[in-house]
Amino acid sequence: MLKKTSLYLALGVLIMQISIHTFADNSIRIGETQNISSAILNEKRPIQIYLPATYGKYPKQKYPVIYLLDSETNFHYLTGIVEKLSKSPYPSIPEMVVVGIVNTDRARDLTPTKQKPEINEGRVIESETGGNVAFFKFLESELMPDIEKKYSTNGLNILIGHSFGGITALNHMLNGQQNIQAYIVHDPSIWWDDEIMLKRFKEANNQDFQHKTLFLTQVGASENTDSLDNHYKGIKKFNQYLSQQPFTQLNYKYVQYEGEDHGTVPMKGNLDGLRYIFEGMRVNIKAIPENPNLIKQHYAQVSQNLGFEIQPSEAYLDRVLDYLKRSNNPKVIQQFQDYILSIYPQWRVKTSS
């Protein structure tokens, strides 16, 4: 009896080990957390990294990068949105690397000026504040170069910020040195320091933003309660000013989401914001046999809007070519293969074995 019991226990342990191993081999991986040592902030900073599904399969491919503030609350769902919207054969956005910046001292890093409780509705934050300048130095001279060294990037960068992160993103639009082409800003704390960011934008009147894109969101009017009145009205005033088009070459869109609150507005806003930045990129591939230049035309228009040249990915073009091959139109297939080679000279026709 003892021998049988020992055998059953041994079998149970073995089955458990096999099950754990099988589960690990079939786990769904979203990304990974790394630590970057910052001499500027004098700390190790956790960074969350998401790579596209095709990353590494096409060695010459380069990707845009999203820099995400408050990553600890936004990374998981945002990477899902990016994965869905960039999926071939009908992508609305390019495949992108997502770099999530996890907070260590949020109020320190994500405020443009030192707090003044006497004008901030008496609010007192038990933390250092006004560290945007140091945070920008960390972003531009430590984090971004590290990402560009480690990963295959193409120089197109997007910054996403919410609340305090929203005013930080707006401050970077005006004062950042490293080039970021697009900003998605959710329900920003314009009220901070007597609406300092609105004042700074007014001082920058007529600035040439060189095709930068700003997508701004706000909660619905039903969220304008007594305690949030200054927050709500501050964003309204900011949008009213930008709607007067006081800047040149700024692509600007404002959206108000009724039914969303301060915590949920980034979810819907990131979906719409990414589609706005790359508006016009989605192509009806069924129309390509009648117009073999359709993809080229769409990407040229998106590039013009962004002020930054982007090309369709090799993975996407392979998917479209697979579709065209089923149409049995040798002339269109050859034209499309020539188009791929014009962008990716190293590309080789894939033949079935």
Q: What is the CA radius of gyration of the chain?
A: 24
Q: Output the pLDDT for position 353.
A: 35
Q: Output the pLDDT for position 123.
A: 67
Task: Starting at the earlier edge strand, list the strands of the sheet with 248-257.
Answer: 32-38, 43-50, 97-101, 63-68, 153-162, 182-186, 208-219, 248-257
Q: Output the pLDDT for position 27.
A: 82
Nearest by Cα to 103 from 163, 58, 22: 163
Q: Is domain 32-277 in CATH 3.40.50.1820, yes or no?
A: yes
**Beta carbons of 269 and 232 less than 8 angstroms apart:** no
CA 62 to chain centre: 15
Q: What is the model's pTM?
A: 0.91
Q: Which helix (H) or strand (E) holds 331?
A: helix 330-343
Tokens coding 114: 């030192």
Q: Where are the chain's structural domains?
A: 32-277, 285-343
- What is d(CA 51, CA 351) in angstroms, rounded to the nearest whole number? 28
Q: Output the pLDDT for position 290.
A: 92
Tokens coding 181: 């082409």
Which regions of the chain are under pLDDT 50? 2, 4, 14-15, 18, 22, 351-353
Q: Which residues contact 262 (CB under 8 A, 6 or more apart)?
A: 163, 187, 219, 223, 228, 231
Tokens coding 127: 């933390």
Q: Output the pLDDT for position 1.
A: 52
Q: Output the pLDDT for position 68.
A: 98
User: What pLDDT, in 10s, does the model give residues 240-292?
Assistant: 999 999 999 999 999 999 999 999 999 999 999 999 999 999 999 999 999 99
Cis check for the bond before 52: say yes or no (omega within 30 of 0): no
Q: Output the pLDDT for position 302.
A: 97
Q: Output the pLDDT for position 226.
A: 84
- What is d(CA 316, CA 302) in angstroms, rounded to the nearest whole number? 16
